[in-house]
Structure 1
Amino acid sequence: MAVAQVIRSEWTKIRSVASTVWTLSLAFAVTVALGVLISVLAKNEFGNLSREDQFAFDPTVVSFAGMSLGQLAMIVFGVLVVSNEYSTGMIRTSLAAVPQRGLFLAGKLAVATALALVVGLVTSFTTFFLGQAALGEYRAAISDPGVLRAVIGGGLYMALIALFSMGVATMLRSPMLSLGILMPFFFLVSAILANVSATKEVGRFLPDQAGAKVMQVVTPPNDDTPYGPWGGLAIMVVWVIAALIGGYVLLKRRDA
């Protein structure tokens, strides 16, 4: 089957499933809404901050405060894109139509990642501009050093979260099992490891902790992170590649 046909088929699958469309819409809505809310609160509380905290204030990061909830929606999107076919049994039909499993997986990943990237970039730019408007006199400008990189990085971060989730879901096949592992990993294990002194060195190399570095403009005092914004994103990319390789290997070896 031609690549164009595979792409068209995967596009039809994704847009015809309401849950995937709603999940992407939710990723945009919750990220922007929470980002604006936190920006309003940060503006009102700025005068109560210590001089050191005011100096370390990062308006760009503040506007991305809703990224954690947007990340949750992107995880669900990535899992649903892959595992819906397994839960409904349609995977057998899909693999019969596209017996080249590498082509099948590549087509699915390409379409879903393109959608996640578009939504991620639109979300990132929207939440930045609305968040900065809410911050008023404490806002950053898109032309300030490092800000455009952070905003573009926010969109890339959301797309990579979705892609990582697709890789894990391809390995596990079950939506419940995939979400049961990814949710605690990102929202419990990662947070604990990154904030406990004994495990901090390990936690900072997890995909979400490393990738989030790209959205940071102002470096906090005493920050000894051994990589910069793009270095953190590169670490996240390595995690994504590992997940995709694992998914591809298992897809090639297993029956539908």
Structure 2
Amino acid sequence: MADTTAAMRFEWTKIRTLRSTLWSLAVYFLISVTFAYLAGHFLRGSYKDMSAENKADFDAVAAGFHGLKLGMVVLVVFGVLAVSSEYSTGTIRSSLTAVPRRGVFYGAKLLTGAATALVTSVVVVGVSFFATQMAMGGPQSVSLSDDGVLRALAGGVLYTTLICVFSMGLASVLRSSALTIGILVPLFFMVSAILNSIPGVQKAAQFLPDVAGGLILQSGRPEGTVLTAWTGMAVLVAWTALSVTAGYLAMRRRDA
């Protein structure tokens, strides 16, 4: 236990002094909140022109997270750099000398990164959601007491944190910032959306980590999906566990 605590202090010092950490978390906040507010303004105007049918289908809860997925790009980058930067700079050797037990080293790195993502996401998810609702105004906006809002807020924090941990696990396997980011950013923010819009592959695409976990951000179940908000989150947890396990095995079996 003492070794783990010391290792986490060691990792926290590295995260705190890594120049990319501060700017990436700040940009995560700025992008998420800015686009959330802009989305609210856009929806405020477009809602008036919607048909009665479209107004009935309008998901004000999901609307509160329009900026979150854009900002999450930066959170993915943060998770990747928290792991892979040591390999690119060669400081992984001195880190493993300071913490020779690789399981402890890996666990401390993941826990510290996850805690940082969790705390930041609590702020980002909450502020982004309310920025959208404030900008929308009127009867189309929702409040904390409305059905599904608290679940979506808690789920949003869990979703973004797990995506960050998933990214850290994959970065441990690949050990390359450019390669890991080059895979995850297109997958999460282009490929998943494209596949999820193709009828022939939509049912399979909904099991991708970002798509499955993202169901928690909606108040209901979208048409054509077999997953609910919480079964989708379970799929994301499974993907994250797989990524973390693969990263652990890579850390144990490979030389620094």
What SS class does the counterpart of residue 2 from structure 1 fall into? helix
Give the TM-score normalised by the residue count of structure 2. Answer: 0.96
> What's the counterpart of residue 62 of structure 1?
63
Count of aligned pairs: 254
Q: Which of 142, 153, 156 is the equivalent residue of 2:155? A: 153
Q: How far off its partner does 1:173 sit?
A: 0.3
C-alpha distance in structure 2 between counterparts of 1:194 and 1:216, whole Å: 16
Higher mean displacement: 146-155 or 183-192 = 183-192
Residue 226 of structure 2: aligned partner: 226
Kindly indicate whether the alpha-carbon contact (under 8 Å) linking 2:118 and 2:157 is maintained by their aligned counterparts in 1: yes
Change (3 A) 1:218 1:134: farther
The residue aligned with 1:51 is 52
Say yes or no: does 1:4 pair with 2:5.
Answer: yes
> What amino acid is aligned across from residue 91 of structure 1 in structure 2?
I
Taking the aligned partners of 2:126 and 2:69, their CA distance within structure 1 comes to 16
Deviation at 1:188, TM superposition (A): 2.4
**Partners of 2:193 and 2:43 in 1: how far apart?**
22
Asked whether the 8 Å contact 1:59–1:135 carries over to 2, the reply is no
**Pairing of 1:49-128 with structure 2 (within 5 A):** 49-128=50-129
**Number of the residue aligned with 2:183:** 181
- For 1:169-248, what aligned pairs fall within 5 Å after superposition? 169-220=171-222, 223-248=223-248
Read off the aligned partner of 1:191 and give its amino acid letter: A
3-state SS in 1 of match to 2:44: helix
In structure 1, distance between residues paired with 2:187 and 2:244: 17
Give distance in 2, aligned partners of 1:144 and 1:37: 23
Question: Equivalents in 2 of 1:207, 1:22: separation in Å?
Answer: 26
Contact in 1 for aligned 2:61/2:148 (Cα 8 Å): no
For 1:248, give the aligned amino acid. Answer: Y
- The whole-number CA distance in structure 1 between the counterparts of 2:237 and 2:229 is 13
CA RMSD of aligned residues (A): 1.1
Distance in 1 of aligned mates of 2:162 and 2:129: 19
> What is the distance in 2 between the residues matched to 1:105 and 1:218?
37
| Cα displacement (A) at 1:219 | 4.3
Aligned match of 1:35: 36
Q: Quick one: distance in 2 between partners of 1:114 and 1:44?
A: 38
SS of structure 1 residue aligned to 2:137:
helix
- Report deviation, 1:187: 2.0
Equivalents in 1 of 2:69, 2:194: separation in Å?
15
Q: Quick one: percent identity of the two aligned structures?
A: 43
For residue 72 of structure 1, report the CA deviation from its aligned partner.
0.3
Deviation at 1:218, TM superposition (A): 4.1
| Letter paired with 1:161 | I
Q: SS of the residue aligned with 2:225?
A: coil
Structure 1 runs of 4+ aligned residues shifted over 4 Å read none
Segments of 5+ residues of structure 2 without an aligned counterpart are none
For structure 1, the residue ranges without an aligned partner over 5 or more in a row are none
- Give the equivalent residue in structure 2 for 1:22: 23
